[in-house]
A and B are shown apart, each in its own frame.
Chain A
Amino acid sequence: MNKKIIACCSLVGILLSLSCQKSFLNVQTTTPTPSNDPSVANDLVTGAYSSLIFIDAGGGWNYDTHGISFIAATNIMSDDADKGSFALDQPGINDLDNFTETSGNPFVAALWNGYYAGIARTNNALNALAVAAIDSATVRRLNAEMRFIRGYYYFNLVRFFGGVPIVLYVPSGPRAANTDTTLVTRPSAADVYSKVIIPDLQFAMDNLPLKGQAIKGRITKGAAETLLAKVNMYLKNWQQVFDLTKDVINSGQYSLVSDYSTIWKEVGDNNAESIFEIQTGQFNNSDAGIPLYSECQGPRNNGATWSNPSFPYAPTGDLGWGFCTPSLSLINAYEANDPRKIATIIFVNHDSSTTLWDGFVIPPGSGVQSPYYNYKAYHSEKLESFFNNRDRQIKNVHILRYAEVLLMNAEAATQLGGDAMTPLSQVRARVGLTTASATQMDVWNERRIELAMEHDRFFDIVRQGRAAQVMQAAGKNFKAGINELLPIPGTQIALSGGRLVQNPGY
């Protein structure tokens, strides 16, 4: 009997020892490290670029950089466009359009979340580049690309919100904000310009190649220089604006394209005028544009069946959600015979049907929600690249183009007493218009028309110090001293433990 016991005990002993192999517990795959695998840093850089298109796959409802929240807080808020769709659709955008938004506005929250998520991508990429086994020249260029995107994101944030927390590194953990309160404390807007935006763009400008030497789609020296000029324009450093724009003009990299109406079509992608353009295209057998960018601005029906049998995607349907409709204020701002009017705005005929440039037929006005739609956002599902994912239609978004450089140069010239006429008339001549004078107001008006629906109008009138006047003239309930900035999202204030201070009036 004793033998049996000993035998059993030793058997069990063996079993016990078998089950305690250490490696048994190491099941987690660890993240590849950039020091071992150069593709990690490269991929993180591409991932940061990708944040220009989208952050969350849900379509920019929660994390947005250039989707519906961006459109709402730039075009729709300005006097160039109205919310569109039908009255009760998306009350949050209604609130932005009517300046009744509160700190709980989900679109405002999506912008805050989206831009900081994008900034985190650039910071992570910069971290990885610091240890990556890549040659130093490439690392310098990639660093510069990342810092351009980061600077651009902060520039948008500071224009939306004023001073925002400066985050230039990857926080260590969930309680990082307890040890570094700057992560949830608002500096002044001036600090954001001087501590992040200008140094980042300066670095980018100093370390990036000219457009002619860069791969299409990558950030160039010209982009950094133009954005730095624009930043200085907001800071009213007119000499810098003038010098930087002059430098871009003299670089010989850019020129105006002859047909204004092609700029926003696929044929205009990365044209001679393009300086900084968000690239979109096909990915994984599907469209991968900015979520909803075209769809949310597409003409929307009003109970009528539309008939376009040669458009196989929606032969009987409409084109989108009908947001961001050009305003009468904008329509009335065009000079007679300015071809930019019909290149920018889809005018829906009330009594007969309307045919778009690709042959798509919109029925008479009564079957359509709005008489005006944004042509610059229109994507042809027939004549342009389309892989049947309407939510992600391919549509490059032009953030900086050469015409704006000329107009910035002209504006600086009006301030400095230089030659504003030459650059201004260059812009106007392209569309067959003559130029009588080149006052500050002329340049401002030209900016509005040339860059209409290109996401700058609202920022411009705030920068120009006439937002209340312009908006009230357009019949908007704009409150001076309040509505120049968006409210800080209430959730973020709560999560900061109250450290984030709300903008006045919200």
Chain B
Amino acid sequence: MKKSLTIGSPRSYAIKKFLLVMKLSFLLVLLGSLQVSATVKGQTDITLKLDNTAISKVFTNIEKQGVYRFLYNSRLKDIQEQVSIDVSNTGIKEVLNKIFEGKDLTYKLLENNLIVVLSRLPALQDIQVTGKITGASGEILSGVSVTLKGTSRGTTTDNNGSFTLTVPENGTLVVSYIGYVDQEIPVNSQSVLNIKMEQSSKALDQVVVVGYGSQRKIDVTGATATVKGSELVKQPVLTATQAMQGKVAGVQITSSGQPGSQPSVRIRGTGSLIGGAEPLYVVDGIITSDITNINTADIVNVDILKDASSTAIYGARGSNGVILISTKQGARGKMQISYSGNVGIQSATHLVKMANAKQYADYVSAATFGITTVPVTGVSTNWYDQILRNAVEQDHSITVSGASDNTKYLLSVGYTNDQGIVINNDFKRLTVRTNDEFKLANNLRLGIMASYTNGVNQNVNLGTAYNDAYRAAPIIPGRVNGKYGNTSLYQNVGNPILDINNNNYHATDNRLQGNAFLEYKPVGWLTLRSSIGADWDNVVDRGYIYQFFADTATFITPGGNQSNPNSTLSFTTANSLHWVWDNTITFNKRFGDHNFTLLVGTTSEQISSTSSYASVQGVPADPNLWYLHNGNRALPFTNDGFGTNQTRNSYIGRLNYSLLDRYLLTANFRADASSNFPAKNRWGYFPSVGVGWVITKEDFMQSQKIFDLLKLRGSWGQAGNDFTQAGAAGYTLTLLQNLPYYFGGGSSSGSAISQIIDKDLKWETTTEYDFALEFSTLSSRLTGELSYYSKIVKNALINVLVPSTLGSFNPSGGQGYVLTNAASVQNRGVEISLNWHDKIKKDFSYSIGGNITFNQNQVVGLNGGQPYIDGPIGANQPYVTKTNNGQPIGSFYVQKVIGVFQSLAEVDAYTDKNGRILQSGAQPGDFKYEYNANGQLDSVYAGSYQPKAYYGANIALNYKSFDLSIGGYGTMGGKIYNGKKAFRQSLLDNIEASTATNQWTNANHSQTEPRANGGNLPASTYYIESGSYFRINNINIGYTLPEAILQKTRVITRLRVYVAAQNPFTFTKYSGFTPELQPPTPTSASLTNAPPSGSSPTSAGIELNAYPTVRTISLGVNIGF
């Protein structure tokens, strides 16, 4: 062994020193037992007196005198031998000779007073080793650190994964790489060593994607979470986010079973009030707002950025959190083909039981004291049975992937068909994706990712149909011999089956999403990257409404007003293009114990869209003729269109700094300009800083065995929201056009300024801080995270309802509103997540995980002082929520029911202080409402849909070839307003079976249910129910064919079959269709003041016609070739 360190050939003192320090730190980190100090220059004599002291301690003493430094391997033979020494003003060489007397040690005095202590034993022969390092499936790993064990001698693999290193023939190589398990490989005189590395299962070694880059999980200072794609594909659902329900603390996902819908996601509470409460999605680096086009089977990982310090890098778009989706790539090795597919049966569960014909007739009669009698028809129709069905769902995808020296490729094709549980509904989606990467030169990479999606959605007129199915009387038959029961004639409610059958809605969505990047690494520490992404979407909506009359050709009994005298054909064509161009420079350099990564860059984007709409009447019913030119031009026809354009321009910067890998700092800064605001308020600046401390890396933690990891982190940051609803510039006036009037016998077209605007519209800004403790203990079997966060959204944008006297007009009906910065909203909470995994014997492993988030949502400042009312339900309930200071967003604000009058005497006894009877017209069985001290009817805050806590839990078991996983999620403390019950407009509307059973009667003196009534009751606490629920949303049982059998096939490399049950069980007290209400809450019916499009959390939690919970039982298979 050469007794010197390889220091290279220094060109200057500075570089030499730098490199030396670097090498020293390498030794320190990798071997952990080398002791180094580096301080002084100059030659000095030593004075020293020590008895029976270990040689290493002697060195320490000499170092303390401040001149010399020692470098040695603590495992050197004799280094711990005890010696005694007594010298004064003696030269260093003499001192060392004295100490080393009789020992197998020698030394070398280097310049700069560095003394290297070495063994005297004869050296072995050095040999040159070359090799290639790959991942488990053969993919090339570049930048892997390869060092000789016990030394600082080492190198890293190049872009081909190759390395060359000169080592002793009996040495051991230590191979380490981020995200992979460290390996020690004995050289054993081999000159070629090809090493395969295994990915680490330890979460903390994993690499997580952060905005515009990736980081080791352990180095992250913000709140992030990762869900693996392999977890997501277990569930037979359309959108990846739906499969993430309950899996991540702080992330509340609500979904409806409606085919093609995108679940809504709330990260750390609802901060923003209008449409912009959804997180930002980033697919392979490209910003988007809709991920229904992504085939879940294509996803490797989903990373979620929860706090402002993580999301600040997305500035104006980051305030609601960011969901980063990474899609799969080809891996080095032989070509891989895989197929996964499942087929399932869907059915509606948790349906509301409506009254049957007899209950209905009795109720109507009771409500009118016998005046109105319901004819006996011998029919008792269950309208939900009439419009719902069991449906088939299927999903297939095939992926071909691989990689060679210079190319990685992946092609996947997916097909989904979801019939939907409502008659006539059908959703089909075809996805094609290709992800390719080319190495153009050693330091230049080109990547291309592209996906094409074709979605075909056969929609149904669901809002109307559901509403009608709830209201339609059971005494009317649904459909007999092709003719419909005439509900409209009987009670002025449309026949729900006809509602659906007379419409044919067909939407075709063609979407191309792609991204190309060029990455250049001129030197190891510098990366230049430019990427351009585009998302082009073309949607053609075709609607055909059949011609039918209220006659005997359509109805069993003619009459009523459900008819359509002329067929209508309409086409809506919408095109949108969204491009994003990112340019970034990343510097990554380690200076001794200091590791820096600096990212700077720019990004710009544009979202533009145009749509055109045309409709004609009188097109024949033959679908082959459904083109506009077949319309009858003597009948009204329309054409219209719309366009939007938004641009953004931003500068980004981020510094990651770590000291000794245990003290971590991340600082972000982003400047954003958005065209959505007037020029004076256009720029927003979003800073953030996060710090972390990996306690387990401290020296004093080395001796403890309890924690494998203990990390504290905290952050502060700001992010923004520029209100990304399409076309909502908000600060410019638009004219309402084509308002006719007639002068001189001809028509003139007028216009109107139908709104008032806020000319000072500006960003809403989220300021958030959080603290967290991450740990891993009991040999990494138990891992967990505990966080506290507090975030305030200031200047939250909201469509504020304004008094009609201001003259703002709502073109879609309803109260006029103005977009303005209207409130400050606070969300504070605690997130806890725990995961336990263990192996019992060889064949059995299991894991149990759970997370819970406690969130307190509160309005803390109303800009202008007015509370906001919202949530209109029908005629008698113009609003049911009030968003006010100190209350959660969208708190229900209604009259308080304090009981049911049991007798007229009770009515008369219910007086104010002056003896005036408060509810003089009330009958026994009517509600008793709370009045205030002044004898006025009072309204009270009665909770909101915002849950106090939400949680998820999952269990996974593996026994031999079998695997079982169960997942569930739920919420606690939220309230739901049973809007459909409240919407009962007319005496002849049907009631729920429980209403019929539980109603107050002379025989049944209920204290909670009123007597039979004609509906139209005022908004009250009667309609408010607990929204808490727990749902087991997935049970998955699988069997994987053992390797031994597979090897015999020679073709199949992997085969798993499974049975999955989606939404098998829901536990809730809520009486409606589902306690899981996906905003925007659907509202309906002609008299309802529909809230502004995009709805808002100020009206969340009102169930009007929610899509019922869909249960799916499916059978699936995953095969690899």
Contact = CB atoms under 8 A, between A and B. Distances in A.
A12 B815 contact: no
Contact of A288 (B747, B816, B876, B1087): B747
B804 interface: yes
B127 interface: no
Interface stretch (B26-34, B152-160, B297-305, B748-756): B748-756
A53 interface: yes
Contacts of A183: 803, 805-806
Interface residues of B, number: 115
B558 A304 contact: yes
B811 A56 contact: yes
Interface stretch (B93-101, B176-184, B982-990): B982-990
Interface string A119-150: 11101100000000000000000000000000
Interface residues of A, dominant DSSP = loop
Contacts of B864: 174-175, 178
A27 B751 contact: no
Contact of B820 (A49, A109, A173, A305): A173
Nearest to B809: A117
Interface stretch (A247-255, A275-283, A334-342, A410-418): A275-283
Contacts of B802: 174, 177, 495
Among B549, B734, B752, B877, chain A packs the most CB atoms within 10 A around the CB of: B752
B421 interface: no
Interface in B812-830: 812-816, 818, 820, 822
A388 B633 CA distance: 11
A5 B587 CA distance: 12
A31 B751 CA distance: 12
Nearest to B813: A62
Interface stretch (A73-81, A229-237, A313-321): A313-321
Interface stretch (A38-46, A192-200, A446-454): A38-46
A433 B696 CA distance: 108
B491 interface: yes
A332 interface: no
B512 interface: no
A483 interface: no
Nearest to B632: A388
Contacts of B869: 491, 494-495
Interface in B863-882: 863-866, 869, 875-879
B816 A113 contact: yes
Interface string A283-319: 1111110000000000011111100000001111110
Interface string A169-186: 011111111100001100
Contacts of A40: 751
B679 A5 contact: no
B565 A314 contact: yes
Interface residues of A, number: 111
Contacts of A8: 520, 522, 526, 528
B254 interface: no
A490 B551 CA distance: 42
A19 B759 CA distance: 27
B649 A25 contact: yes
A286 B636 contact: yes
B749 A24 contact: no
A55 B523 contact: no
Given A26-B675, A104-B1018, A171 B741 contact: no
Interface string B758-797: 1110000000000000000000000000000000000000
Interface in B647-696: 647-649, 651, 673-675, 679, 682
Given A113-B816, A217-B744, A313 B565 contact: yes
A63 interface: yes
Interface string A99-125: 000101110010011001101110110
A30 B732 contact: yes
B800 A50 contact: no
A55 B1086 CA distance: 16
A432 interface: no
Nearest to A100: B921
A16 B528 contact: no
B647 A215 contact: no
A175 to B, nearest CB: 5
Contacts of B244: none
B743 A215 contact: yes
Given A61-B813, A388-B617, A19 B603 contact: yes
A365 interface: no
Given A61-B813, A317-B549, A88 B806 contact: no
A32 B749 CA distance: 16
Given A46-B749, A173-B820, A88 B758 contact: no
B636 A91 contact: no
A411 B530 CA distance: 85
Contacts of B523: 1, 4-5
A359 interface: no
Given A19-B603, A113-B815, A102 B647 contact: no
A20 interface: yes
A16 B583 contact: yes
B645 interface: yes
A124 B755 CA distance: 10
Contact of A25 (B638, B673, B813, B876): B673
A119 B807 contact: yes
B1039 interface: no
Interface string B469-508: 0000000000000000000010110000000000000000
B558 A305 contact: yes
A218 B743 contact: yes
A46 B805 CA distance: 21
A284 B638 contact: yes
A116 B875 contact: no
Given A4-B522, A25-B647, A112 B489 contact: no
21 contacts: A20-B602, A25-B647, A25-B679, A31-B735, A44-B752, A46-B751, A88-B491, A89-B986, A91-B875, A113-B816, A116-B805, A177-B806, A183-B803, A279-B741, A279-B743, A303-B489, A317-B551, A388-B634, A388-B635, A492-B804, A495-B803
Given A19-B602, A92-B875, 6 more contacts: A25-B682, A48-B750, A120-B753, A174-B806, A218-B743, A285-B633
Interface of B: 489, 491-492, 520, 522-523, 526, 528, 530, 549-552, 557-559, 561, 563, 565-566, 581, 583, 585, 601-604, 606, 617, 633-638, 645-649, 651, 673-675, 679, 682, 729, 731-736, 738-754, 756-760, 800-816, 818, 820, 822, 863-866, 869, 875-879, 985-988, 1014, 1016, 1018, 1086-1087, 1089
Interface of A: 1, 4-5, 8-9, 11-12, 15-16, 19-20, 24-32, 40, 43-53, 55-58, 61-63, 86, 88-89, 91-92, 102, 104-106, 109, 112-113, 116-117, 119-121, 123-124, 165, 167, 170-178, 183-184, 215-218, 279-288, 300-305, 313-318, 321, 387-390, 489-492, 494-497, 500
Please name the 4 residue pairs, one residue from A and one from B, whose CB atoms are nearest each other, closest first: A120-B807, A46-B750, A286-B636, A47-B750
